Structure 1
């Protein structure tokens, strides 16, 4: 056991723990969710990068001796290597704007640094506040760490989206000749190819990759160096330039200081930008997953235009039933992302005066949205999208029977005639082609050309046919 003290008194701690008295107070103060800071390693690692960079910068400007700076850097590296993952036990729901998180990292680094320098834990050589936290405040460290973590989260998410884009491109080519019925308001519409339908999904993914790249640029601007409220109190000359130089070297990313540190400390609109990008991504993914559920519904009494890979039995009572469990999983992730976005919006809104203190909640919700989307999309690709099959016969039958083919009649003979034709076809259970030929509106050959669903999916083919028909019949007159 070892004894530590802070401004509130003393406490005896198990010596095997690297965290100290302030962390232990926070651990016992906030036993709320069972979700600890350790669940968000990117944020912990970002704080460790800041501590290492700060130690190097303070040594460079003569505020920290080489031995101490080196020991702090080595301790931070062990955090980055995952060797201290079990030393961050504070619940993520914590008061104080992340002070518990910052001090948790400071204490782990200080105790580990002391082990190297003195052979034992304690703060005889390296103090968590005096040395590990030199020229820093929770108020500039934690928002800076969130920016850094978001940059890394986007770096993980974009390759998964690029993989999704490639798989969708493959499906576009695979389905380019599969003609099917389009649907608007869940009602029959004009023909479309399954490849065209999937191209809409790909376009959405491409656009979101670009949007995430734009959001990632905002991650590069940090309030580090602002200390408590943006005035830079406790920061010595040369520190700011040095800390960003070292931070960029450690991370390999060109981070730089906010133009206005007061803005950087007070306002949380950056978090809203990131969360909005994730919410937008979730909305398209949810729509795609929902579409796949509808298109694969059946197999006897639904649309059944595509088949999803069977990954598990779908019922505890109905043998042979297979559910679209992967799209359903994706949709649930998306619903939760919407909820996380609402929490982030409220947390950003409730920043008061010179600081936003709700950043632990922001950490939780941003991190979870990133991780769940990244993991969910990977599963969506591997266990669903890449092995989707088209039920071509059903697709073609639906396309040829669509009453929306009367749109062709409307283009050639006017809306009123087409409307009457569609109504008659519906009552008789016939196709538009059959009624048009029966009534002598089109010849068999003309109907075969003008009402071919596949031709109608390509304007460059259908438009000349319409023009030729009109010209030919006007000539006859």
Structure 2
């Protein structure tokens, strides 16, 4: 049987169109908006079940770049106004309603993002052609000739990455500020409640819960500042660098116009990278972004781990705080309640830390282009997405509702051998060490031990150790210690 010619096939299947690329021709159903290169990408790379449309802000960023490019090329006189306006309108339509089915390229694909760029190019070319002719098809708007004019995958994709990640970082800062607010509320609420500090998991000097929570607050405030700095770094784009940084195919006018149009479309101060060759060759900027995310995740994990420790028990652990019960903790032990919200946030942190290793390896690249941008983007996007979703749950399902067990905390603070530090300030370290050893070996308080060792009488010991909260205030502690000092203190 003689194979049918392509034109005969199109006639035999009126609901399909024939498209051609460098590798040959393919029949594509007319209801499909993308084109032949996207079809090949779907066949080659359907791996993860997640597509470029699932990365928040990524496809919209590419669409916005294409829209700005069409306007810039029109102003530069390179692109016929009717075609430019059709691409502009098609991009606006896709931005208003981005359909996942139109952008099916898997997030794991080779070629430095070519499949993602061509997916968007083909959708816009077909949509623009339909605007002009009333039908889908490669004419009169071509995905490469018109939609990709003055561009390359190599400058479009890293630019879109920065635009997308910048937006995600801003959203992450928003939820972190919500956590900071919840911590600040507890800081104020517990400002006068004394507890025992711990270093190396051993008893240390008293502090207040408010002071401890101020440390958590301070860490997350620093992370927000760093993420904001990284967000600002996402405003520098390699757009206009085209394939290898030379800007070949993009005029000087276009390179100026495209940033003007991008700023007009987004309201953000996007500008060109200072060195386009550096921008295409090197991806160490993403290592910095990933490091910022990892640092945030580690602080989240540390905070959550501390809450687990402080709430441990409740009868055979520290039991300094009580976390809100959100679900039963055991299928066999009635009444058990687990710290599930801290455990959830810690698992998110572990994932972010793992993603950082992926970004670090992928950022190495080689020669004149980093081609691992797809996995870099997916790793960063997942890290941000997980934290954005988990942090509000943690803040409102755990931090906001936690309470302190002040009686337990005060008891532990009052019985700490570390209170002997005050005696070291008054009588010297050797005398204080003798008191601490006496208290430890006889299982008595420092207040009683200092009397038995003859350094203070009961009235003096009571005055020094009655209110251990003063040890959480350096100025108050210094005042009372100074009142006990002698010109030449000698230990008995």
Q: By the TM > 0.5 criterion, same fold? A: yes
Pair 1:430-2:415 in alignment: no
Pair 1:406-2:420 in alignment: yes
Q: Equivalent of 2:286, from 271, 278, 283? A: 271
Q: Distance in 2 between matches of 1:189 and 1:35?
A: 50
Q: Is the 8 A contact 1:78 1:84 kept in 2?
A: no
Task: Name 1:120's counterpart in structure 2.
Answer: 135
Q: Distance in 2 between matches of 1:332 and 1:270?
A: 26
Q: Distance in 1 between matches of 2:252 and 2:423?
A: 79
Q: Distance in 1 between matches of 2:98 and 2:49?
A: 21
Q: Equivalent of 2:192, from 158, 177, 185? A: 177
Pair 1:30-2:48 in alignment: no
Task: Name 1:205's counterpart in structure 2.
Answer: 220
Q: Distance in 1 between matches of 2:238 and 2:130?
A: 32
Q: Distance in 1 between matches of 2:380 and 2:296?
A: 13
Pair 1:418-2:432 in alignment: yes
Q: Is the 8 A contact 2:56 2:381 kept in 1?
A: no
Q: Is the 8 A contact 2:427 2:485 kept in 1?
A: no
Instruction: For residue 473 of structure 1, report the CA deviation from its aligned partner.
Output: 8.9
Task: Name 1:156's counterpart in structure 2.
Answer: 171
Task: Name 2:463's counterpart in structure 1.
Answer: 449
Pair 1:258-2:273 in alignment: yes
Q: Distance in 1 between matches of 2:222 and 2:173?
A: 12
Where does 1:65-464 land on structure 2 (aligned, <5 Å)? Answer: 65-349=80-364, 351-451=365-465, 452-464=467-479
Deviation string for 1:256-285 (max 9, x for gaps)?
011111111101011111111111111111
Deviation string for 1:132-189 (max 9, x for gaps)?
1111000000011111112111211112122222221111110011101010000111
Q: Is the 8 A contact 2:328 2:335 kept in 1?
A: yes
| Greater CA drift, 372-381 or 413-422 | 413-422
Q: CA RMSD in A?
A: 1.4
Q: Is the 8 A contact 2:170 2:228 kept in 1?
A: no
Instruction: For residue 312 of structure 1, report the CA deviation from its aligned partner.
Output: 1.0
Q: Distance in 1 between matches of 2:257 and 2:297?
A: 39
Q: Is the 8 A contact 1:79 1:85 kept in 2?
A: no
Superposed structure 1 runs of 4+ greater than 6 Å apart: none
Q: Is the 8 A contact 1:304 1:394 kept in 2?
A: yes
Instruction: For residue 446 of structure 1, report the CA deviation from its aligned partner.
Output: 2.1
Cα gap change, 1:181 to 1:121, in 2 (>3 Å): same
Instruction: For residue 448 of structure 1, report the CA deviation from its aligned partner.
Output: 2.5
Structure 2, gaps ≥5 residues long:
1-15
Task: Name 2:10's counterpart in structure 1.
Answer: none
Q: Distance in 1 between matches of 2:167 and 2:53?
A: 17
Instruction: For residue 471 of structure 1, report the CA deviation from its aligned partner.
Output: 4.6
Task: Name 2:7's counterpart in structure 1.
Answer: none
Q: Distance in 1 between matches of 2:252 and 2:321?
A: 66
Instruction: For residue 371 of structure 1, report the CA deviation from its aligned partner.
Output: 1.1
Q: Equivalent of 1:59, from 61, 74, 78? A: 74
Q: Is the 8 A contact 1:226 1:261 kept in 2?
A: yes
Partner secondary structure for residue 205 of structure 1: helix
Q: Distance in 2 between matches of 1:29 and 1:7?
A: 16
Deviation string for 1:411-453 (max 9, x for gaps)?
2122222222222222222111122233332233322232232
TM-score between both structures, scaled by the size of structure 2: 0.94
Deviation string for 1:14-43 (max 9, x for gaps)?
222211110110111012222221210311
Q: Is the 8 A contact 2:281 2:367 kept in 1?
A: yes
Q: Distance in 1 between matches of 2:339 and 2:94?
A: 41
Instruction: For residue 374 of structure 1, report the CA deviation from its aligned partner.
Output: 1.5
TM-score between both structures, scaled by the size of structure 1: 0.96
Deviation string for 1:226-269 (max 9, x for gaps)?
10001111112410110000001111101001111111110101
Deviation string for 1:353-386 (max 9, x for gaps)?
1100000011100111111111111111111111
Cα gap change, 1:445 to 1:82, in 2 (>3 Å): farther
